[in-house]
Amino acid sequence: MTQSYWPMLDSLITSKTRLKLLIKFFVSANNRGYLRGIAEEFNESTNSIRKELNHLTDAGYLIREEGEQKVFYKANTEHTLFGSLQGLIHNFLGFDQMLEQVLGRDGNVEEVALLGDYAQGIDSGHIEIVVLGKNIDSLYLLHSGDKAEGLLDKRVSVYTQVPECTRIKIILYQRDII
């Protein structure tokens, strides 16, 4: 991803809170959250989070689900713009470029997954990726991670094994088994 994506998204999505919510819910369709939890996660007031959640829900981008004595929100995967928004968020975070580099170089890749904060929808500035497969070129992956840091202006960690402390793993690529 080039640095030009940030000003583009910043001008399209003027609310920083809304941008954080879009990242949280559209980096993976499995992400969900509730008002107070999101407010604590983003370190923002519940009023600002509620306002943006209502806007996104009214527009049809998010779905409200009641359960466990809380109202949960998640991305509306049936919305006609779901794929486009998810692609935009992936471009913004640089996943598309990282995948292209790794897959273009090493044909032994079986799976690429997102870990850590970004897998939870938190834009912390530290992207963690695991690349699994046979005879993976670890040195190349290390170099790719360093190169991605410069392009994305974010810290990037690339692993060849899933770390033990991993709670959430979002698959970005999985090779079809024939």
This prediction's pTM: 0.64
- The Cα–Cα gap between 59 and 39 comes to 21
Q: Are 116 and 128 in contact (CB under 8 A)?
A: yes
- If you average pLDDT over every residue of the chain, what do you get? 80
pLDDT at 2: 38
Side-by-side strand order, sheet with 109-115: 155-159, 126-133, 109-115, 170-174
pLDDT at 75: 95
pLDDT at 8: 55
For 44-95, what is each residue's pLDDT tens digit?
899 999 999 999 999 999 999 998 789 999 999 999 999 888 888 877 776 6
Of 100, 79, 102, 101, whose CA–CA distance to 26 is shortest?
Answer: 79
DSSP 8-class letter at 170: E
DSSP 8-class letter at 4: T
